[in-house]
Amino acid sequence: MWTKMIVSVLAAMEIGCLVWDMVSNTTHYKLKTGFRFGIAAVLTLLMAFGVLQGVSRYAGIIALLTVMGIVSLLFLRKKGEREISKPSRRVWRSVGSMVLYLNAMIVAILFPQVEEIAVTGDYPIQTALYTWQDKSRVETFAGSGQKRAVTVQIYYPETAGRYPLAVYSHGAASTMDANDSTCRELASHGYVVAAVAHPYHAMFVTDVSGATTSVDPEFMQLSMSGPLTHSNEEMLVYYKKWTKTRTDDLNFVLDTLLAYAAQYRDDAFGHIDVEHIGLFGHSMGGAACEALGRQRDDIDAVIVLEGMMLGELTGADETGFTYDSTPYPLPLLDVNSDSLSSHGMDKMFGSREYVNFSIVKHSADAREVTFRNAAHMNFCDLPVLSPPLAVMFGVGNRNPRECIQTVNGIVLEYFDHYLKGDASLDILAEY
């Protein structure tokens, strides 16, 4: 709302001044100076009183208006008001001003100020950030021989006690807080949640030292468009490599968390109930969690939020993929949108059943959930936080806030049933 309002006011100011200048054939530097200083002052006051939130959203436009006001004031003092000799130049100046306004507002446009997705639980939430180095693995993306380091954001209830552990893995070229609302919802109901950032698979990771690692360009390109440009055999090699990188990260984080839970009592680790562990993730993160479920015997349940189960692929040819025929050993919830066909599934699987559907169908305790009028990004927070970016990666027609809140409720109910032993499990097949 605020972004649209500010852009509208700036556009109205610029167009109004342009029309008046053209009609009167006179510059109005005094008026423009007053407008620019005035709007900058109002925005500054709104920020000071907390109405506008986020320095990165609004500081740029405030600074730009202030500078442009000073420039207008200098022109006024130097040349005064004068006739417009070249109307076309005046038009282009207004267009240029609007381009500058939009550039200064780019953060607010991409990430408009929105109401936070509220939690429904009663537990106050604490967070802690850690970066751990896995001394058993060399960082293959860096090529410098350094050990791989993994950053983890932990959400946990302030209230003393032991709570089930839920480990989260983000999607390809996403971030560890992509499902921040889901993590907070779980923590507010009595869970310790560890959100794992996979370096070079994440769009960016900022570790505890403040150093930032960006996504690997080749990984990003292949994960986004590889299935459309590469053969199934070629992609299977990448899928296995990516899955191993992520499951190694998750194994390392889980082992570290469990070791610390046995040593510490008064911080995030002291809240972990090591006997009840769940995994959940979005997109490639969900696929990694599902694959890890086959590797460990201390996992109680797995939730996949629209992630193709890459770990189940055993072979490939020009007609599609073959899958692991062994029944999945854990309770498994597979959540998908009704737009899977738009993801290139026909090329990848041909006449074969989509891998997730096949695995769910042949598992002892698994279920499928479909979200109507949804798309890939509706299973994370991005459509709420940045509608323009979400559209680029795929978003459905349904209300994004309602959709992610429904997803969060399903995740909570599923883990409550399998990690806390709640008897009820009323998850529908369609939403």
Mean pLDDT of the region 404-419:
98
CA distance 338 to 368: 12
The reported pLDDT for the residue numbered 39 is 93
Burial tier of 90 (Cβ tally within 10 Å: 0-12, 13-18, 19+) = middle
Helix locations, 49-147, DSSP H:
55-79, 87-104, 106-110
Radius of gyration of the chain (CA): 26
Query: What are the boundaries of each domain within the chain?
Result: 2-110, 125-419
Burial tier of 160 (Cβ tally within 10 Å: 0-12, 13-18, 19+) = exposed
CB 147 within 8 A of CB 137: yes
CA distance 368 to 144: 43
At 78-119, the pLDDT tens digits run 777 777 777 888 788 889 889 999 999 999 999 999 999 999
Mean of all residue pLDDT scores within the chain: 92
CB 65 within 8 A of CB 39: yes
The reported pLDDT for the residue numbered 148 is 97
Considering the entire predicted model, what is its pTM?
0.90
Question: Cα dist. 172→135, 268, 373, 411 in Å?
Answer: 24, 27, 22, 20
Q: Can you name the CATH fold of 125-419? A: Rossmann fold (3.40.50)
The reported pLDDT for the residue numbered 77 is 78
Looking at the chain, the whole-number percentage of residues with pLDDT higher than 70 is: 97
CB 396 within 8 A of CB 339: yes
Is residue 373 predicted with pLDDT exceeding 70? yes
At 149-204, the pLDDT tens digits run 999 999 999 999 999 999 999 999 999 999 999 999 999 999 999 999 999 999 99
What's the DSSP call for residue 338? Answer: T
Mean pLDDT comparison of 46-60, 132-146, 201-215, 262-276, highest-scoring range:
201-215
Q: Of 230, 224, 191, 227, whose CA–CA distance to 377 is shortest?
A: 224
CA distance 4 to 406: 28
